[in-house]
């Protein structure tokens, strides 16, 4: 059983999955930074100098200047600005994955559509399958000029 598990763990599928998870985590961090540090500030300026991370509703009824001040006070908050950031991150990641999968599918279709080169040819006289490099049929000894 241990030997079977070792073969399974070393096979390509498990290793590919591990690499995919690591790269996915790093990609997630890049997208998070892109959204929080690049896209949301620009959207905030375009919408009217709004910082989405500070869009929240305090459930204790007190008005706080920022989300961090509300959290420091121990207030329960509905953080809809952070939720908007998360939705934008999701859309970027899902669109990126869609593009990658679409390209892979196109590449796989091209490979499937390519006709494999025939490794034999047919003798025009006796209709025997022969090597494509042959100039004479080994079966009927006719000269093949194809």
How many Å apart are CA 81 and CA 34, to the nearest integer?
16
Whether residue 134 contacts residue 125, with contact meaning beta carbons closer than 8 Å, is answered with no
**What's the pLDDT tens digit per position in 91-125?**
888 888 888 888 888 887 776 666 667 788 889 88
pLDDT at 12: 62
What is the pTM for the complete model shown?
Answer: 0.54
Segments of the chain assigned E as strands: 57-58, 77-78, 121-122, 129-130
In the block, tokens 């006289």 appear at 125
Whether residue 84 contacts residue 67, with contact meaning beta carbons closer than 8 Å, is answered with no
**What's the pLDDT tens digit per position in 9-67?**
676 677 777 888 888 888 888 888 888 788 878 877 887 777 777 889 989 888 988 88
Token pair for 24: 């996915």
Q: What confidence category does residue 86 fall into, taking pLDDT thresholds of 50, 70 and 90?
A: confident
């Amino acid at each position: 059983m241990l030997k079977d598990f070792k073969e399974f763990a070393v096979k390509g599928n498990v290793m590919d999955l591990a690499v995919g998870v690591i790269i996915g985590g790093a990609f997630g961090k890049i997208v998070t930074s892109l959204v929080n540090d690049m896209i949301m500030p620009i959207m905030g300026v375009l919408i009217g100098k709004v910082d989405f991370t500070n869009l929240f509703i305090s459930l204790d009824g007190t008005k706080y200047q920022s989300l961090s001040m509300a959290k420091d006070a121990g207030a329960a908050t509905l953080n809809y600005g952070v939720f908007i950031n998360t939705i934008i991150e999701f859309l970027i990641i899902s669109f990126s994955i869609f593009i990658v999968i679409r390209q892979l599918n196109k590449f796989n279709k091209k490979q499937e559509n390519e006709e494999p080169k025939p490794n034999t040819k047919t003798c025009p006289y006796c209709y025997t399958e022969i090597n494509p490099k042959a100039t004479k049929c080994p079966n009927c000894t006719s000269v093949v000029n194809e």
